[in-house]
Every structure is written in C-alpha cells, then in structure tokens.
Amino acid sequence: MTTQTDPVILGDQELLEEYHRTDWSVETPAGTLHVRLDGEVPDESLRPSGIITAYNPASMPRSDEENRAADLELMRHVRSLGVAFRRTEAHGSDPAWTEPGFLLLGDVRPLLVELGLVFGQNAVVWVDGAGAVSLVCTRAGFAGRRPGQKIDL
C-alpha cells in the first residue's frame, strides 16, 4: 500500500521567502554564474536578461512527466521567438529541489512576463541593464501585484 501526501500549499509571503532563498545557476563560457535576488549580475553579456521556468505553474507541484513536457513546450516557444537563451537550474532551500529554466538574453522583459502568463508562473526573475536582480509578477494578484510589476522583497 502506498501513501500519497497532499502537496504543501504555501502562501504568497512563504513563496516570496522561497524565491529569496533560490539560487539560479547559468552556464556561461567563463563558467557557472549564480543569480540571486539579493545580488547583482557582474557579467555584462547577461544584462539585461530574465529567467523563466515552466515547472510547477502557480507553485503547485506537478509530476515529473508534466514538468518535463511543460519545459519542452517552453523551449519550443523560446526557440520560435528567436531569442538568445541559456539554460538555468534553480536550487532552493530544499537540497532535493531543482528546477530547470531559461535565461532569455536582451531587453525582453515584456516577452518574459507574457511567457510567465502563458505558462502560469507566479513571477519571473529580471536582471536590468545595471545588473540589479528583481522579481516581476506574472500572475495577477500574486504578492498583491499585477503582471509586469516588480515585487519588493
């Protein structure tokens, strides 16, 4: 007999705390770069840019199969748009949790927000031209914001 546990549903504040603890690794020609919401991106070739995932829409856990299918669909979207990108991997406070995604290069914030809406994400990570890292809402009402608004942590 197997026991199935219900997924843990976190409130917005708890989710924001998890975002704040997350480290996104990006492979670059110079090596692995780490992006955090409390840091800056020193590599000028990655400014501006943004990070998005298709895993676990609205932070609701999905099966590995559903997540991989969503990731492939996001990859198809990104490639069809002709936007330069790099793969990313997010690591949170739980060492067992990793989540692949994409860092889209260039001044693509509106596109990033639109993709976040399409793929049901709460938010995306934005790196501005100066290298400052922020969280941007993509789900209406998340953290009391509208899609496209910066979320202060």
Dump pLDDT digits (tens) for 11-53.
888 888 988 999 999 998 889 999 999 989 988 999 999 999 9
Residue 151 near residue 143, CB atoms below 8 Å? yes
Q: Which amino acid is at 15?
A: L
> Bridge-partner residues for 99, per DSSP?
90
Length of the chain: 153
Torsion from C-alpha of 81, 107, 141, 52, nearest 10 degrees: 60
**Start-to-end C-alpha separation, the chain:** 43
Note whether 72 and 100 are within 8 A (CB).
no
Contacts of residue 55, Cβ cutoff 8 Å, sequence gap at least 6: 62, 67, 70, 71, 99, 100, 101
- Looking up tokens 């979320």, which residue turns up? 151
Per-residue pLDDT at 97: 81
Give pLDDT, residue 7.
Answer: 55
At 27, phi and psi to the nearest 5? -80, 125
pTM of the model: 0.90
